[in-house]
Amino acid sequence: MKINFNMNGKPVEIDVDPSMRFLDVVRDVLHLNGTKEGCGEGSCGACVVLMDGKSVNSCLLPVANAIGHDFVTIEGLKETKEFDILQQAFAEMGGSQCGFCTPGMIIAAYSLLKHNPYPTEAQVREEMSGNLCRCTGYQAIVEAVLKAAKKGAGLW
Amino acid sequence: MDKFKTSTAKVDFPEKVRGEAKFTDDISFPDMLFAKTVRSTVARGKIKKITLPKMPEGYHWFCADDIKGENVVNIIFSDWPVFAAGRVKFIGESIGIFVGKDKEILDKLASEIKIDYEEETPVYELTESYIHKAFKKGDYEAAKAKAVKVIKHTYETGYQEQAYLENQGIICYFDENDKLTLTGSMQCPFYIKRAVMRSCGLKDDEVRVIQPAVGGAFGGKEHYPSMIGSQVAVAAIALHKPVKMCFERAEDITFTTKRHPSHSEYEALIDQDNNILGLKIRVGLNGGAYKGCSGVVLSRALIASSNAYVFENLDVVGDVYMTNTTPTAAFRGFGSPQTIFAMEMFIHHVAKELGVDPLELRFKYLAKQGDVTANNGHFHDPIVLKELMEKAMKMSDYKRKLKAYSKPGCNKGIGMSIFLHGCGFTGSGESDIIHGKVKLVKDEHDHVYCYAAPVDFGQGNRTTLKKIVSNTLGLPEDQVSFEAPDTDHTPDSGPTAASRTIIIVGFLFEKCAKHLKEIWKSGERQEYVEPYVGPSYIHWDEDTMQGDAYPGYSWGVNIVEVEFNPVTYQVSVLNTWSTYDVGRVVDERIAVGQADGGLLQGLGYGYLEEMKCVDGRMRNRNLSDYIIPTFEDAPHMETAFIDNPFIYGANGAKGMGELTLVGGAPAVALAIENAIGRKISKIPANPEYLMEVMKHEN
Amino acid sequence: MVEKYIPASKKEALEVLSKHDCYIVAGGSDLMVMKKNTAGLAPKFDKDILYTSHIDELKGIYEDEAGVHVKAGTTLDEVLNSKLAPALLKKAVSQVASANIRHFATLVGNLANASPAGDTIVVDFLLDAKVKLESVGGERIVDVENFVLGVRKIDRHPDELITELIFPKLDYSGDMWWKVGSRKADSISKVMVAGYWGIRGKIVEKFALSFGSVSIKAVRSHDIEKEIIGLSVSELKARKNEFIEKYGKIVTPIDDQRSNAEYRHKVAMNIVSEFIDKVVGGK
């Protein structure tokens, strides 16, 4: 079936089974490998992408539901000013170790800040709890998101 | 400001944050085939017959019969076959792999293969010891004469799953020179190389292993990749095509190795002045179906069994038991989290039973420089444990809180663990067995390239090792690069394990850089290889377990504050305060990252993470039912370091990767004890267990 | 061969359902796990699939005399940000899975999948929610307690589409939501309890409790509630243990990889005790 959506600002038309996981389209069809699979069941958040500006688990999203929507993966986000602020804050605070969860973390942090530009620490922890990290103990990521919120004030 | 400690940019950060780093599953080759494992469905038995389905063209089956070399995975004790040979010993054991282009067809073949077993009665209890170790210090039996009291307790710890975010996976292919090459999620490239040489019957120059980006390991990728690597290599050689095998989470959680569950019995001899005359310690580990590295895990568990305390008389015995379950192996801490938990709880329980202050009792037996260790070696280097404790207690307001929280019904608690971790391989293993080497190459533009085997799976060693070199040479950071290990170009500096990367490999790089500096000729290509020479005073006898167990020790203190919910028996970890002596910190941001991450894994081990094995089958199959902490579960963490430079460390640095995990479980368990006023003797101290504990009288 | 339908209107969807027995996929967060296949391969659906996420008529929340209507395509995130949605429902929704999932998973999907551990079902039961089902032949409205039949079993005929979940207006003075998961966030519940109460003078005028993850479906006992309603506060206080015992009989949990029956039962009863204490102002 022909499927249309926007990916990283560009219209995409692909011919795939609409029941497929959006994650497989992102990785195997569009070759956007910054989106990772950690659990395949929506628990870890390594696969989140932005759908109309909000983070969603691409491993649970059927391609059928993607039709007509706007998506951004880390490959698209990295061209933005918001990304620059986030990545700098992650670098400064040590928010990435093995890096496997990092693109998902950045996407989730962006989604959070776009809808809540001045989050408290508790809100960051609550809103990002669908993204697992086994390396950092989370504190550095929380600090990075709070720092990015402050530094990017007005941008979010 | 200490320039050396100042945080520097993490080398691999830009490519990772931008999603550009290539992890195993991001790598593919034209003509690449996939492999799908067929696993045993019975826990113990003989394979009577394998009936293959009709094989479509381009699809292949590989099993024990196809092994050209030895059918074993080259681990410390090589008893685990690459493919089950005639018999199976646990549910999930690899019997063979289907290889081909289309995953759907591979799934179909795997569902159609028929395997007939002659089932045997499996063993799930700790009854069949297959590794036994023991050592003594002083004379425990003689000390009994002076004892007026004997206190005994039993402690249990459960499985722990590494739960790295990236699952295991290996690709075997042929490089531009048609050489057999493996890349994949790994900790130890040379382990894989040697395993493939052995199972495929290849020579040293016939196998190459290259490390890509690795998404966490924590010990879980120390040995298991040698198994997957051997399996895909068998197929790749036969078909002369690239073969990829990447696990999904359920396969990874259920069938790859995890931390050994343990059962420990502690007995203390007490004299009339409430002195501890000696300890008798019995440790049992569940090794699963194959020994693998369990003997070394047991060694570390036993050596650490009296933790950071020194007693005159010790009688220590340990066994690893064979059970027909998924084998257990390396996981950050490597045996010591089990016994350090037991020892920390035990000294506390002894103090309570004697009616003495646990803190005073612990102070009385703290290790000091010059003391004789459990294995009759010596603590050669200065020990700053008391300072670490005092600092952590001050940071946390420990004494006031302990008193306040001891009032019944307040449901808050605070607990402190103190601990040590021996860095590097046991005894003189670094000098005698590992023979680690590193290499520095300087090109005509005076750019320096560092070559060594440690894999950076998040710990930051590409950054820290490079930093040691650039600081020693006095070069700007961008004039030095660290190359990811490639066994064709990298000297074997040993595995990425045992908290040895900084203390051993870092030290080697520092020496190597000093030598390069001495012979430095600007504008010329130069190369220097440095072999490891350890402290000459370290002597160890593995058979008797006597001597200096490790080249050096790192030390730490964790204080944990919790809140207990008496309605649901749930525990919230609120705050932690930690102090560490890791010699000298190489890079503060990376060190704090290790401290935070290690501690959260240790806390998870202590109160949250539970893996159940029922009738040989792991019941947890995903990250939705093997529970690791989320952002909301993680406490606020504060960390401080006390300098205590180590002579045989780069700029004084010792190891810290494992140290940061081992104190988490006892600290959180002691905090829970403080909150509920009852004894904890098992981890994870999860709500179901705490409900049981709450049934007992205070 | 499994057919996939992606209608753009309700009418079109109902026509498909009148001819084909389909899985109905709204957000997909639950079915995509249940039908999971090897990575890279399409999920294993064994009958036709109807995707409803493109039907605009199924989106939104509105209010009329019957109560608050949450249309079937409304995401959990939209419920959370709605001014109309009942406060207790929002409390439960805020703890379902994670923000990432709430951004596309739907409230009605959580009900329709009828998992014994479905968080919002417990609140649906407590708030007397009604399920609106439509087919080409017409529509019917079912009480949610009758709609959920068992583990992943609901009273939906193959030609029907759930179009709304309706929350009638309820007045009460206090409410409570307990989700006991294996960790603080992103977890599947071990025990859930929802309750509300109303006191007039010294008489318990309203009292309701529902439970989740403790039986094959969410449970609520109108019989026990009837016994309690009309009691004086002091009578309820005096008979607390009697009612805990009664609730103890309708709560029948099991052992699984997440917890055990004894824990679930004990915690549920502890919560009932806390709840009654709160109702009678004992704490």
Domain spans, chain C: 4-167, 174-279
- Nearest alpha-carbon partner for C114 in C146, C90, C92, C82: C146
- Nearest alpha-carbon partner for A48 in A71, A70, A64, A29: A71
Pair B392, B578: CB distance under 8 Å: yes
The whole-angstrom separation of Cα C220 and Cα C207 is 11
Residue B229: partners with Cβ closer than 8 Å, 6 or more residues away: B170, B172, B182, B184, B186, B192, B195, B196, B209
- Do A105 and A64 belong together in one domain? no
The whole-angstrom separation of Cα B297 and Cα B349 is 26
Q: Which of A21, A126, A132 sits opposite C32 (nearest CB)?
A: A21
The answer to whether residue B403 sits within a structural domain is yes
Q: What Cα–Cα distance (Å) separates residue B226 from each residue in B28, B33, B168, B292, C174?
A: 20, 19, 11, 11, 60
Which residues numbered 11-70 in B keep a CB inside 8 Å of some CB on A? 12-23, 25-26
Angle at B522 between CA B517 and CA B525, to 5 degrees: 90
Confidence at residue B3, expressed as pLDDT on a 0 to 100 scale: 60
- Do B605 and B557 belong together in one domain? yes
Confidence at residue B566, expressed as pLDDT on a 0 to 100 scale: 97
The whole-angstrom separation of Cα B665 and Cα B336 is 11
- Which of B7, B18, B331, B661 has the highest number of chain A CBs within 10 A, making it the mutation to test binding with A? B18
Judged by a CB distance cut-off of 8 A, whether residue C178 touches chain B is yes
* CA torsion through residues A81, A84, A87, A91, sign: negative
Confidence at residue C262, expressed as pLDDT on a 0 to 100 scale: 97
Domain coverage including residue B599: 262-426+544-695
Do the two domains C4-167 and C174-279 of this chain adopt the same fold? no
In chain B, residues with a C-beta closer than 8 Å to the C-beta of C190 are: 687
Those chains having 3 or more beta-carbon pairs within 8 angstroms of chain C are: A, B
Q: What is the DSSP letter of C65?
A: T
The whole-angstrom separation of Cα A107 and Cα B491 is 39
The answer to whether residue B146 sits within a structural domain is no
The answer to whether residue B326 sits within a structural domain is yes
- For chain C, what percentages of helix, strand and coil (3-state, to nearest 5) are there? 35, 30, 40
Which residues numbered 1-30 in A keep a CB inside 8 Å of some CB on B? none
pLDDT digits (tens, 9 = 90+) for B254-268: 999 999 999 999 999
3-state secondary structure of B197: helix
Pair B168, B366: CB distance under 8 Å: no
- Do A56 and A118 belong together in one domain? no
Pair B480, B469: CB distance under 8 Å: yes
Give the helix/strand (H/E) hosting A57: strand A54-57
Judged by a CB distance cut-off of 8 A, whether residue A153 touches chain C is no
Cβ-based neighbour number of residue B3 at 10 Å: 6
Judged by a CB distance cut-off of 8 A, whether residue B248 touches chain C is yes
- Which of C41, C191, C267 has the highest number of chain B CBs within 10 A, making it the mutation to test binding with B? C267
Pair B73, B80: CB distance under 8 Å: yes
Confidence at residue B2, expressed as pLDDT on a 0 to 100 scale: 62
pLDDT digits (tens, 9 = 90+) for B605-653: 999 999 999 999 999 999 999 999 999 999 999 999 999 999 999 999 9
3-state secondary structure of C70: strand
Task: Count the domains in chain B.
Answer: 3
Pair C135, C161: CB distance under 8 Å: yes
The answer to whether residue B660 sits within a structural domain is yes
User: What average pLDDT does range B160-165 have in this prediction?
Assistant: 98
Q: What Cα–Cα distance (Å) separates residue B479 from each residue in B102, B466, C122?
A: 46, 10, 62
Structure tokens at B208: 């190459």
Pair C121, C158: CB distance under 8 Å: no
Cβ separation of A46 and B165 shorter than 8 Å? yes
From first to last of the 283 residues of chain C, give the pLDDT tens digit. 899 999 999 999 999 999 999 999 999 999 999 999 999 999 999 999 999 999 999 999 999 999 999 999 999 999 999 999 999 999 999 999 999 999 999 999 999 999 999 999 999 999 999 999 999 999 999 999 999 999 999 999 999 999 999 999 999 999 999 999 999 999 999 999 999 999 999 999 999 999 999 999 999 999 999 999 999 999 999 999 999 999 999 999 999 888 999 999 999 999 999 999 999 985 4
Residue A153: partners with Cβ closer than 8 Å, 6 or more residues away: A117, A118
Those chains having 3 or more beta-carbon pairs within 8 angstroms of chain B are: A, C
**Could you tell me which chain A residue has the CA closest to the CA of C23?**
A19
The whole-angstrom separation of Cα B434 and Cα C153 is 61
In chain B, residues with a C-beta closer than 8 Å to the C-beta of C188 are: 624-625
Q: Please provide the average confidence, as pLDDT, over all residues in chain A.
A: 98
pLDDT of B245 strictly over 50: yes
- For the domain that residue A48 is a member of, what is the CATH number? 3.10.20.30
Cβ separation of A28 and C101 shorter than 8 Å? no
- Do A21 and A62 belong together in one domain? yes
Which one of A74, A92, A125 terminates a domain? A74
Q: What is the DSSP letter of B366?
A: B
The whole-angstrom separation of Cα B69 and Cα B57 is 27
- Do A88 and A127 belong together in one domain? yes
Judged by a CB distance cut-off of 8 A, whether residue B111 touches chain C is no
Task: Count the domains in chain A.
Answer: 2
- Do B316 and B276 belong together in one domain? yes
- Do B498 and B556 belong together in one domain? no
The answer to whether residue A60 sits within a structural domain is yes
Cβ separation of A137 and B213 shorter than 8 Å? no
Cβ separation of B630 and A106 shorter than 8 Å? no
Which one of B222, B255, B288 terminates a domain? B255
- Do A85 and A119 belong together in one domain? yes
**Could you tell me which chain B residue has the CA closest to the CA of C97?**
B624
pLDDT digits (tens, 9 = 90+) for B363-400: 999 999 999 999 999 999 999 999 999 999 999 999 99
Strands of C27-75, DSSP E: 48-51, 61-64, 67-71
Q: Which of B103, B625, B633 sits opposite C258 (nearest CB)?
A: B625
Q: Which of A19, A54, A125 sits opposite C43 (nearest CB)?
A: A19
- For the domain that residue B83 is a member of, what is the CATH number? 3.30.365.10
In chain A, residues with a C-beta closer than 8 Å to the C-beta of C32 are: 21, 42, 59-62
3-state secondary structure of B218: coil
Q: Which of C41, C185, C266 sits opposite B632 (nearest CB)?
A: C185
The whole-angstrom separation of Cα C74 and Cα B310 is 64
- Do B688 and B566 belong together in one domain? yes
Judged by a CB distance cut-off of 8 A, whether residue B409 touches chain C is no
The whole-angstrom separation of Cα B32 and Cα B9 is 36
Q: Which of C28, C185, C186 sits opposite A62 (nearest CB)?
A: C28
The whole-angstrom separation of Cα B178 and Cα B176 is 5
The alpha-carbon gap from C185 to the nearest alpha carbon of chain B, in Å, equals 6
Which residues numbered 586-625 in B keep a CB inside 8 Å of some CB on C? 608, 612, 619-621, 624-625
pLDDT of B698 strictly over 70: no
Q: Which residues pair with C191 in a beta bridge?
A: C180
The answer to whether residue A20 sits within a structural domain is yes
Judged by a CB distance cut-off of 8 A, whether residue B631 touches chain C is yes
Cβ separation of A129 and B19 shorter than 8 Å? no
Laid out side by side, the sheet with B243-246 consists of B60-63, B94-100, B33-39, B243-246, B169-174, B180-184, B207-210
Which one of B493, B509, B531 terminates a domain? B531
Judged by a CB distance cut-off of 8 A, whether residue C263 touches chain A is no
In chain B, pLDDT over 70 holds for what percent of residues? 99
Structure tokens at B55: 């094989």
pLDDT digits (tens, 9 = 90+) for B462-485: 999 999 999 999 999 999 999 899
Give phi and psi for B448, each to the nearest 5.
-105, 130
Judged by a CB distance cut-off of 8 A, whether residue A131 touches chain C is yes
Pair C188, B624: CB distance under 8 Å: yes
The answer to whether residue A156 sits within a structural domain is no
* Amino acid at the residue C217: K
ipTM of the complex as predicted: 0.98
Confidence at residue B642, expressed as pLDDT on a 0 to 100 scale: 98
- Do B562 and B586 belong together in one domain? yes
User: What average pLDDT does range B221-249 have in this prediction?
Assistant: 98
- Do A87 and A106 belong together in one domain? yes
Cβ separation of B608 and C274 shorter than 8 Å? no
User: Does domain C4-167 correspond to CATH entry 3.30.465.10?
Assistant: yes
The whole-angstrom separation of Cα B215 and Cα B169 is 11
- Do B506 and B360 belong together in one domain? no
Range from B62-66, B128-132, B664-668, C278-282 carrying the lowest mean pLDDT: C278-282
Judged by a CB distance cut-off of 8 A, whether residue C40 touches chain A is yes
Which one of A74, A95, A125 terminates a domain? A74
Whole-model pTM? 0.98
Judged by a CB distance cut-off of 8 A, whether residue A41 touches chain B is yes
Residue C77: partners with Cβ closer than 8 Å, 6 or more residues away: A54, C99, C102, C103, C104
- Do A38 and A88 belong together in one domain? no
Which one of B255, B288, B313 terminates a domain? B255
- Do A35 and A93 belong together in one domain? no
From first to last of the 156 residues of chain A, give the pLDDT tens digit. 999 999 999 999 999 999 999 999 999 999 999 999 999 999 999 999 999 999 999 999 999 999 999 999 999 999 999 999 999 999 999 999 999 999 999 999 999 999 999 999 999 999 999 999 999 999 999 999 999 999 999 999
Domain coverage including residue A35: 2-74
The whole-angstrom separation of Cα B254 and Cα B613 is 10
Those chains having 3 or more beta-carbon pairs within 8 angstroms of chain A are: B, C
Judged by a CB distance cut-off of 8 A, whether residue A109 touches chain C is no
User: What average pLDDT does range B162-181 have in this prediction?
Assistant: 98
The alpha-carbon gap from A69 to the nearest alpha carbon of chain B, in Å, equals 22
The answer to whether residue A105 sits within a structural domain is yes
* Amino acid at the residue C242: E
**Class of domain C174-279 (CATH, top level):** alpha beta
Judged by a CB distance cut-off of 8 A, whether residue A120 touches chain B is no
- Do B58 and B96 belong together in one domain? yes
Q: Residue B4 — very low, low, confident or very high, per pLDDT cuts 50/70/90?
A: low
- For the domain that residue A126 is a member of, what is the CATH number? 1.10.150.120
Q: Please provide the average confidence, as pLDDT, over all residues in chain B.
A: 97
- Do A89 and A55 belong together in one domain? no
Cβ-based neighbour number of residue B417 at 10 Å: 31
- Do A85 and A55 belong together in one domain? no
The answer to whether residue A101 sits within a structural domain is yes
- Do B390 and B481 belong together in one domain? no
- In B562-631, which ranges are continuous DSSP H helix? 588-607
Distance of CA B274 to the CA centre of its chain: 36
- Do B480 and B523 belong together in one domain? yes
